[in-house]
Chain A
């Protein structure tokens, strides 16, 4: 099976994340960045399918120049090659625009499966799988906590709020995975060395055939009008249990009318 895995570079959750004052987009320049954590699970799942059934794993990222670090990490885990969509005109694109650009690149690749993470830690939108399925007209198999790919059929356990659903479709299909699906491997030293010489195809907006007027901040269908930084929550009252902890908490709950 040939698989394309979409990985996104995101600010580290530990870092203080900010919007830039000038254009109200995520300030990606001033923070530590990492591969979106769930995307490691997506890469891992692709590698496991490849190891069992053969085929190639291609990494696809849309992001600025420095997103190459994230691509290298995925390659060092064991992916075979990568495509990097990078163009200043794409800056500030929202999820819907990003899906248009990624779909165009995917149309030029040969694959049986596309695997994305269920959600990115920066946008937290959890929509990319559905957006790509809609744009490419290929089945949506999202929120998978288990994947079985056999012959031309893919079956997943889709996590739901109260359990799971068994969903099945024919390839090519668009999958998204949740973090309970596997345990991602660490890149080995050999993997890190090998990553340096793996093919990396850099694409510009022109390569996608999309018009510069259709992407980027100016054309974004949704825009931030204003934002404010919320003061951090203040600690309230802290008391020690002296055998009466239960009733102390109960008293507080009663004072707030919860009981």
Chain B
């Protein structure tokens, strides 16, 4: 069976959920091989093996974290050239898409981003225009370089051989021209990543103040959810921009999206309307968010959200 290379997104050897999803998807297309690069890479080998990796290419050089994007792209491109895989799958987050783009140029392969499904003949499905159109695309030249969104496939454990192969990559001066001086984590720990979470609770202008976002966070924590925000809320400085959902923020596609105090402007919808189930809490019965909500509650979030949190905590006992 043809090899499918999967670039693993991980934090010091702990793969993110999306990486397991991609391995699971790769197994439906061929024989998955994992590529793990950067600090702690070797530690990820056993974990990706459990999700079907037949081979694990490990690159532990400091260059992968010390320079932006280009060294990772060089490593993936080197494996594409030496192994001629049937396809390369990369998580469709900001860095993943940039790695993919560079690999496509280096290898002459076609690039597809933001896909949510791939069939065995390597036709990829992409929702566009905020989900109002679905296209099926195919790479015509070279190795398909495809980025896949989180939550597109349910990860399934399926042990692979997990044969580890250490790789060294030849980097050019250009590959080492953007130096990462420092990485600063601003997000509060403990919550799932917005892009990967299966439940997202978002607050908008209706939340009213930065302090009041604590009721949104409390609801999120009761559900094990990530916290999102509308642009009105991030522009006002009530919540970090990293958490903005929408056309100029993150695109999320969770099982459940709860919007509180968000009107549902088209630019906000563009980032969340492919969510499986949508719940809206808004005091204005005319708010456009109700047009796409599976369940809408017309009411004041200041009373409804804390009551909901309490009820969930009670039911979860």
Contact = CB atoms under 8 A, between A and B. Distances in A.
B293 A168 contact: no
A222 B68 contact: no
Given A226-B135, A230-B131, A256-B277, A165 B110 contact: no
Interface residues of B, number: 100
A205 to B, nearest CB: 19
Interface stretch (B30-38, B50-58, B78-86, B90-98): B90-98
A186 to B, nearest CB: 17
Interface string A233-250: 101111111000111111
Interface string B304-317: 11111111100110
A189 interface: no
B233 interface: no
A158 to B, nearest CB: 7
B289 to A, nearest CB: 10
Contacts of A99: 101, 105
Interface string B254-267: 01100000000011
A107 interface: no
Contact of A239 (B111, B139, B142, B297): B297
B270 A233 contact: no
B140 to A, nearest CB: 6
A197 B100 CA distance: 41
A163 B242 contact: yes
Contact of B128 (A124, A158, A161): A124
A127 B111 contact: yes
Given A160-B242, A228-B133, A252 B140 contact: no
> Counting chain A CB atoms within 10 Å of each CB, which of B234, B250, B294, B306 scores highest?
B294
A249 B242 CA distance: 28
Contacts of A121: 247-248, 270
Contact of A135 (B105, B130, B172): B105
A222 B140 CA distance: 5
Given A24-B135, A140-B69, A249-B304, A162 B248 contact: no
Main secondary structure of the interface of A (DSSP, over half): mixed
Given A239-B296, A247-B307, A225 B180 contact: no
Interface stretch (B152-160, B182-190, B206-214): B182-190
Interface in B163-186: 172, 174, 177-186
Interface string B208-248: 00000000000000010000000000100000011000011
B264 to A, nearest CB: 11
A223 interface: yes
Contacts of B144: 222
B97 A126 contact: yes
Contacts of B110: 94, 96, 220-222
Interface in A109-157: 119, 121-122, 124-127, 129-131, 133-135, 137-143, 145, 155
> Counting chain B CB atoms within 10 Å of each CB, which of A125, A135, A159 scores highest?
A125
B296 A236 contact: yes
B183 A38 contact: no
A223 B138 contact: yes
Interface string A158-181: 111111111111100100001110
A252 B295 contact: yes
A77 B174 CA distance: 34
A30 interface: no
Contacts of B49: none
Given A164-B186, A241-B300, A227 B135 contact: yes
B106 interface: yes
B173 to A, nearest CB: 9
B113 A127 contact: yes
Given A161-B94, A166-B184, A230-B132, A225 B138 contact: yes
Interface string A75-104: 000000000000000000011100100000
Interface stretch (A10-18, A47-55, A56-64): A10-18
Interface in B98-121: 98-102, 104-106, 108-114
B62 interface: no
A45 to B, nearest CB: 15
Interface of A: 13-14, 17-19, 24, 37-38, 94-96, 99, 119, 121-122, 124-127, 129-131, 133-135, 137-143, 145, 155, 158-170, 173, 178-180, 220-230, 232-233, 235-241, 245-250, 252-254, 256, 258-259
5 contacts: A170-B177, A222-B138, A237-B294, A241-B298, A247-B311
Interface pairs A-B: 3 shortest CB-CB: A246-B307, A241-B299, A221-B110
